[in-house]
Amino acid sequence: MGEFLNMYGEALARCAFCHDQCMSATPEVVVTGDQSLVVSRVANLIRLAGGGQLQWSPELARRLFFGLTDELQFQYCLAAKEGHHFEPFLRAAREEAVRRQLAPTSVLAVAEHVRLSGNIFGRREELALPVGPAPGGPILVHDAATRVLTPGALAAARDLLGAVGPAPGELAVPSCGFVEFDLGLTHQAHAAASQAHAALAGLPDGPVVTTDPVLALALRKFYPQWGFVLNRPVLHISEYLAQRAEALPGFRPQAVTSVYHDPAALARGLGVVAPPRTLLARIPGMHLAEPITSGIRARGDGPLMGYPDEFVAAAITRARLAELRTTGAAVIITCSPYSVANLSGVSDGFPVIDLTEFLCQAR
């Protein structure tokens, strides 16, 4: 672990000796009141374990997988403007926990799903062959998250993309690798990225478009870091459609108040805040309410996969759901299969819908 400290020692010290500035933005602390889960205190545990002053243990490993790496903490971080980030050392520590066979059962379950099926859900799939786009058209890329969690959004995306320009191509991949990467399953993450990269390389030029901001974040930000350069634009579908909004068919009036939830990967990871709102503003008669926290400061809706405590995860999601419902909205609209699944899972039937499906229904 000496090499670990050489690589991340400065960042660890930044967090470990901080005065818990991000405590109010750490979802686990907010919902549990357990201040030991704040990033700075977990960083200190990692620093001590890396220096041999603290024994690696299942309890230490479990704490590593509590932290949501959704970047909300950096909205309150005094060192953020200097380029400080905690995700690299946290993910590296998770990888070390996996290597030491100390990872929680929730993480081991994800690893087993990937081993058996190639995706984080353990769902065996016969994937359709890639289809090239018409000249100038986009390539709709999706992995198991969209197909399992929001299949309706995938159908709606095909419809909307066909309405605004040349016919899209399509590529189905088992996984983009991001969830595996976030959980310290680095080998599995890179294997998934290599497979997706090779499949895209076999298709004609054209922008990548996806309904999943986690997939877009992986392709745009992390693939180049891993040595998989795409040499083509990567866009969330809200960005692509907003750029071509004038080509969209007219929408029927909707006399409803809705609220839009910003997924972390889209708003903070990719900086995409305005395009979904631009699209919703084209619907006549609909009032779009704004929650107390929105945009890059939006409260998170919960984890992706592999979280070590389902009760804490549900509490995080319920806190965001309550905030969204205080707007008086009759429907929650969002842009991520994980966000739809998280919020729907605790909503007791309150409508939660992906943006693409909502737009199609309003046509």
Name the average pLDDT for the chain.
94
Instruction: Give the C-alpha separation, 34 to 102, whole Å.
Output: 22
Cβ contact 200:171 at 8 Å? yes
Buried-state track 265-280, b at ≥16 Cβ within 10 A, e below 16: bbbbbbebbebbbebb
Do the beta carbons of residue 46 and residue 88 sit within 8 Å?
Answer: no
pLDDT digits (tens, 9 = 90+) for 65-109: 998 888 888 888 888 878 888 899 999 999 999 999 999 999 999
Sheet holding 169-172, edge to edge: 169-172, 139-142, 208-210, 234-236
- Asked if residues 96 and 184 have their Cβ atoms less than 8 Å apart, the reply is yes
Task: Write down the pLDDT at residue 298.
Answer: 95
Q: What are the pLDDT digits (tens) for 230-265? A: 999 999 999 999 999 999 989 999 999 999 999 999
**pLDDT tens track of the chain, all 363 residues?**
556 767 888 889 989 888 888 898 889 998 999 999 998 999 999 999 988 899 999 999 999 999 888 888 888 888 887 888 889 999 999 999 999 999 999 999 999 999 999 999 999 999 999 999 999 999 999 999 999 999 999 999 999 999 999 999 999 999 999 999 999 999 999 999 999 999 999 999 999 999 999 999 999 999 999 999 999 999 999 999 999 999 998 999 999 999 999 999 999 999 999 999 999 999 999 999 999 999 999 999 999 999 999 999 999 999 999 999 999 999 999 999 999 999 999 999 999 999 999 999 998
- C-alpha distance from residue 317 to each of 271, 299, 340, 347 (Å): 22, 9, 11, 9
Which pLDDT score is estimated for 2? 54
Q: Which fold has domain 249-361?
A: Rossmann fold (3.40.50)
Handedness of CA 86, 92, 98, 101 (dihedral sign): negative
Question: How much of the chain, in percent, has pLDDT values that exceed 70?
Answer: 99
Residue with tokens 């901080």: 18
Scanning the structure block, which residue is given the tokens 């708003």?
A: 267
Spatial CA neighbour of 264 closest among 209, 314, 320: 320
Predicted pLDDT of residue 127: 96
pTM: 0.95
Give all strands (DSSP E) within the chain, no chain letters.
139-142, 169-172, 208-210, 234-236, 257-260, 287-289, 331-334, 352-354
